[in-house]
A and B are shown apart, each in its own frame.
Chain A
């Protein structure tokens, strides 16, 4: 049996403001190590909401969430922050780099926070990842001076810095042109195939989803295919 990295058990979520709406209904699935999973569905089907719950940032839900076979539900803010730091890497639709820092520093921040390696090692690891993504020449640039496609690659490098168990993406190609989208997809594909990296990507780009290893399709807060 393969290692289960992420497991959701009977997750329900309601929004209460302004009226109570059931957004997620009885979501149960698991992701194994090395899988490249896409979550697709129409706008408003709850796929982003699900991603935030899976990422431990949203704690207001019913059901159970396990990451690396440990129960995440009910843990404190500080513990969850540590889990996110250590085990999860994020790539968002908008690139969310810290403009006050250089590209290299942006990639290094989660690594420094983890505090597992010395600063020199973290820097070395950050450079390795930038090289792997072909953007090492941008390392000393300020984060706001680089292009959108480059920013997304920096965000991926940042997600990779702590060797996370899983990388989660919220429409990582949603804001990019075809060429850059293709580039980002290639990177994900390579990570999954060459580095056995687990990926869970929310997208509504059908062609992107079809080329990934596994598709979870959602509709009206339920999983209809997985």
Chain B
């Protein structure tokens, strides 16, 4: 009904004190811009750090753990079913690490609609021979193409080419740390001794850098065929099946299901990497806390300016009330003033926040540990913009609430009589 009129009055009051209005709006703009920048940057870092581990970790890993049999033969025997059986010195059996029926399991998992992809893996311990010294290491036999597709393998191969591990026979991609110890250049041949004592020459086709030094000193990658050859195993011999899911959150449930379905050990990513979640949560909380504090400070700025404006406009408020505007109308005028400052200040803030994010995104950031990162990471999630925008409106509403209520209670008689 009177909305247009109320808007008109609020607009005139705002424009009449353009300077003050701008100062208030700049406060909101600044805090929203910082809020967006801070959260985008912080979350970019979070994702980067999580990605270091999480991107390369399978969501569900199927494997056979070496452990003692839970059902010792004597317990299975019907003859002793009703007696107490004491078995001492239980040892892990000669259980194989190999996954039985790996072919059918892989086929079954691949057809599961929740699954993005499956990569088999074969891990083996070896010694790298450098002159008279033997250095322990691990060779991961992988399906190079699937590994590249699912776990961004190529990103971590900093020298040479990942696909060469598949295309060049008897080749290996060494961890950067390991390569430094072995003084192995690309194209060199390194000698490897398997646990069984077999010696094997392997050609270095690339360096691998995970960003975590300890890993780079022991890990290396080869194609699954090469690794099977090293171990003298047949072509269906694998020790791990790595599964990547559509939705990471489903991992525990899926792991549970596979454990029962395939009678195999299954580990989900949440269990394997619980500490990363905690770290990123705390970083996120801190950045929200700082952002909200900035907004509250801006809110107090608006509160002050509105209070001043109300003192200045006492006469106007009195005359509005005398000519028939109710307390509620006056209240709405001042709330509207406050919220327009919040709205426009916030909008500009969002734009500036985006600009700052882009600037940060373009600052060079080179570190040996993170080969794929060239600039500072930034997360442009629209969620932050939504939260920032909403918050600017809420804060300015609260900042305007009390001054507006005060204005609505101004007694016109006191003002008019006071002259």
- Interface status of A110 (Cβ within 8 A of chain B): yes
* B253 interface residue (CB < 8 Å to A): no
Whether A113 and B2, one on each chain, are in contact in the complex, defined by CB atoms closer than 8 angstroms, is: yes
Tally of chain B residues near chain A (CB < 8 A): 29
Binds A, one of B86-94, B121-129, B313-321, B355-363: B313-321
Closest chain-A Cβ to B33's Cβ sits at a distance in Å of 30
B321 touches A57 (CB 8 A): yes
Chain A residues numbered 94-108 whose CB sits less than 8 Å from any CB in chain B: 94, 96-101
Flag whether B252 is at the interface (Cβ < 8 A).
no
Please tell me if the beta carbons of B324 and A81 are within 8 angstroms of each other in the complex: yes
**A-B pairs, 10 with minimum CB distance:** A85-B324, A81-B326, A100-B16, A100-B12, A96-B319, A78-B326, A110-B323, A84-B324, A52-B413, A112-B5
From residue 371 to 419 of chain B, which have CB atoms closer than 8 A to chain A?
411-413, 416-417, 419
Q: B322 an interface residue at 8 Å Cβ cutoff?
A: yes
Total A-B contacts with CB atoms under 8 angstroms apart: 78
- The answer to whether A78 touches B323, judged by C-beta atoms less than 8 angstroms apart, is no
Contact of A81 among B5, B13, B316, B325 (CB under 8 A): B325
Residue numbers in B under 8 Å from A100 (CB-CB): 12-13, 15-16, 316
Cα–Cα, bound, A96→B9 (Å) = 16
Chain A, interface size category, equals: 20 to 34
For the complex, what is the distance from the CA of A33 to the CA of B406, rounded to whole Å? Answer: 38
Chain B residue at smallest Cβ distance from A96: B319
Closest B residue by C-beta to A102? B12
B327 and A170: CB pair below 8 A? no
From A92, A94, A98, A114, B324 is in contact (CB under 8 Å) with: A114
Q: A78 CA to B13 CA in the complex, in Å? A: 23
**Known: A101-B12, A113-B2. Contact between A78 and B327, CB under 8 A?**
yes
Q: Is B67 an interface residue (CB 8 A)?
A: no
| A93: Cβ under 8 A from any B Cβ | yes
CB of A173 within 8 Å of the partner chain:
no
Known contacts A58-B413, A100-B16, A101-B12: A90-B323 contact under CB 8 Å = yes
Q: Is the CB of A84 within 8 A of B413?
A: no
Say whether B322 contacts A57, CB under 8 Å. yes
Judge if B249 is at the interface, Cβ distance under 8 Å. no
Residues 107-146 of A, flagged 1 when their CB comes within 8 A of B and 0 if not, give 0011011110000000000000000000000000000000
Most buried by B among A90, A98, A99: A98
* In the assembled complex, B81 has its CB within 8 A of some CB on chain A: no
Report whether B412 and A57 are in contact in the complex, using a CB–CB cutoff of 8 Å. yes
Complex contact B16–A77 (CB within 8 A): no
Does A86 have its Cβ within 8 Å of any Cβ on chain B? Answer: yes
Residues of chain A within 8 A (CB-CB) of B417 are: 48, 52
Chain B 298-317 near chain A by CB (<8 Å), digits 1 or 0: 00000000000000000110
Are B413 and A57 in contact, with the CB atoms below 8 A? yes
Contact A110 B324 (CB under 8 A): yes
Q: Quick one: which of B15, B319, B328, B419 has the most chain A CB within 10 A?
A: B319
